[in-house]
Amino acid sequence: MSSGSKADRKAALDVASWFFNVVTSVGIIMVNKALMATHGFSFATTLTGLHFATTTLLTVFLRWLGYIQGSYIPLPELLKFVLFANFSIVGMNVSLMWNSVGFYQIAKLSMIPVSCFLEVVFDKVRYSRDTKLSIVVVLLGVAVCTVTDVSVNFKGFLAAVIAVWSTALQQYYVHFLQRKHSLGSFDLLGHTAPVQAASLLLVGPFVDYWLTEKKVYAYDYTVISVFFIILSCTIAVGTNLSQFICIGRFTAVSFQVLGHMKTILVLILGFIFFGKEGLNLHVILGMVIAVAGMIWYGNASSKPGGKERRIYPVPSNKSQKQDELSDSTETDEKV
């Protein structure tokens, strides 16, 4: 196969992976919002446990088909990942429940500078002036949206902060574990999904009762609400899988940078289905500023010197010298 054909095939797979993630991510946000806001199913943690229980069934099926091979992750690293991931997912669900769709999605934009901070601290990544300025523009857009979104409250803001930091750590760790242990997306999901499902289903009802003062088993289940729960679980399988695929193919920062596409879709759909969410001129202006910063960041960080990594942990001693030499001289291709 020629280099041109390989490049075209990679580009096609990148586009397909990202499209898969956009569709499932936007879909689950809208379904969960309808389930929580319209049908009163406010048990976000338990719902997340059901998501990963469904995902675990998929990994068992994939292992039976041979798509998931035998691999190993040290228990401390697995538990650390599960801790980040559980705080991330529970935080995001609670943020979605306590905030408007608009503020929920805009808050997620702040994960880009947080992810950049993690790369600077742990991977010794250096950013150019244009890259830094683009992040400032993103923060400006987020600030405009935050100030004008009347649905923001202290409880929801705190949930969003916890969700942002835990999500950034979880996404960084996805790429770290895949690189360190040479794991594919399916392999990593096969390790993490069962542990997350068990832990979330165990503590979920108690956490939900603490948050809502309602008991999940006392909820008035109807045919429609059960349908939305099943639909949410089904879409969540695709969301979990596509996230691992995209972060594996790109990086955590790129995964967030490309997220501005989802921001636009969620804000528009939130206005269409939940008109009370308040898509006013100020929110639109803030979103435009933030998205412009996203695009600028993508362009700036992809240029030579825009984002350089001098040190990065390597998966094995065998390739250590070669990887350290290449990482010390070349600009990071994954922007």
pLDDT digits (tens, 9 = 90+) for 36-95: 888 888 898 899 899 999 999 988 888 888 877 778 899 999 999 999 988 887 787 778
Is 42 exposed, middle or buried (CB count within 10 Å of its CB: 0-12, 13-18, 19+)? buried
Angle formed by the axes of helices 3-33 and 101-109, to 10°?
140
324 versus 48: which is more confidently predicted?
48
How many other CB atoms are found less than 10 A from the CB of residue 248? 20
Give the side-chain half-sphere CA count within 13 A for 314: 15
Quote the pLDDT of residue 282.
74
Q: How far apart are the first and last CA of the chain?
A: 26
Q: Read off the tokens for 155.
A: 């409880």
The larger pLDDT score, comparing residue 223 to residue 93, is at: 223
- Could you tell me how far CA 156 lies from the centroid of its own chain? 18
| Measured distance CA(116)–CA(188) in Å, rounded | 23
Look at residue 124 in the predicted model and tell me its pLDDT.
Answer: 78
Range of weakest confidence among 171-175, 180-184, 206-210, 310-314: 310-314
Residue-range domain boundaries for the chain: 13-309
Per-residue model confidence as pLDDT tens digits over 89-136: 778 777 877 877 667 766 777 787 788 888 888 877 787 888 888 878
pLDDT at 176: 86
Please tell me the predicted confidence (pLDDT) of residue 329: 39
Q: Supply φ then ψ for residue 308, to 5 degrees.
A: -120, 135
pLDDT of 310 over the 80 cut: no
Six-digit token string for 158: 């705190």
Which stretch of 27-36, 108-117, 160-169, 255-264 has the lowest confidence by average pLDDT? 255-264
- Host H or E run for residue 126: strand 125-127
Average pLDDT across the chain, whole number: 78
Which whole number is the average pLDDT over 275-297?
74
Structure tokens at 173: 């760790």
